[in-house]
Each structure stands twice: as structure tokens, then as C-alpha cells.
Amino acid sequence: MNRPAIAVTGLGMITPAGHTTDTTWDGVCRGESFARTVPELHGCAVDFACTVTGIDLDGAVGGRTAFRMGRYVKFAVLAAREAVTDAGLDPAHWDGARVAVVVGTSSGGSAGLTEQAVALERRGPEATSPSGILLT
């Protein structure tokens, strides 16, 4: 089978260790733990997590549609922008059939789905967002 060659040419990361690939790598190399107590988890069997903090996602993503995006989508957009920049690509001049962005997320849009389920339970279907499933 003759497959076309592929190459990873750019990286982008938004993680608890840093908001870029370089700051993430620096944090990992320092061996620092990024686990923190999360007040919302008080009373749970595990009350800590490695969360991304210190970034204004709406401001960083920009645009008029940021408010519709789930938190994890904003992370993906920012990481993809970094990867494209890191690759030295110009979206205005690339062959879209040869460019891909691969995104990894640990839990997707569970927060958006939970918000919609709670709204449905407490206030009925009229309280849910028509794009609720899209936020997950």
C-alpha cells in the first residue's frame, strides 16, 4: 500500500503546566505538580485536579462566537493557532486537503452537557439552549 507521507510540523498546547508548548515543557521539566484543591470538588472523594488557570479564554479566542464555544473548544482553538504558527503555515496559502489539526482532550464538553441537563431538570425544556448539544 502506497500512503502519502505525513509530518508533524507544528505543536500547540494549553495545559495546567503552561499556556504554550514551551511553557508546558518548562513546567514538566521542572517536575512541578500542577494538582490543586478545587473548591467545587469539596466533599467529593477526590477534591483536587490539574486545571488550566490564569488565562482569559474569551479574550484570547476573540471574535463574536467565543461565547458559544465550550471551554475545551477554546483550548483547542488556541492550541491549533499555536500549532499553525509553529509550523510556519499561512492559512491564506495552504492546501486544505493537506493540512489537519489533531486535538486531544481528556473530557470533552462534559461541563456544557451538565449545564444543559441541570437547566432541563430545574426549569424545563424552555431553559435549555438550542445549541446545547453543540456545546459538548
The domain segmentation of the chain, as residue ranges, is 21-105
Instruction: List, for residues 12-71, the tens digit of each pLDDT value.
Output: 999 999 999 999 999 999 999 999 999 999 999 999 999 999 999 999 999 888 888 888
- Model's pTM, two decimal places? 0.73
Instruction: List, for residues 70-113, the tens digit of each pLDDT value.
Output: 888 899 999 999 999 999 988 888 888 888 877 776 666 677 77
| Dist CA 120 CA 76 (whole Å) | 28
Facing residues of 37 across strands? 48
pLDDT score of 132 = 64
pLDDT score of 116 = 80
| Dist CA 117 CA 23 (whole Å) | 36
CA angle 136, 97, 75 (to 5 degrees): 30
pLDDT score of 106 = 63
| Dist CA 55 CA 24 (whole Å) | 14
Residue 124 has pLDDT above 50, yes or no: yes
pLDDT score of 131 = 67
Residue 120 has pLDDT above 80, yes or no: yes
User: pLDDT band for position 136 (50/70/90)?
Assistant: very low
pLDDT score of 3 = 83
- Dihedral angle sign, alpha carbons of residues 23, 24, 30, 32: positive
C-alpha cell belonging to residue 45: 472523594
Q: What are phi and psi of 101, to 5 degrees?
A: -120, 125
- Mean pLDDT lowest among 4-18, 69-83, 117-131: 117-131
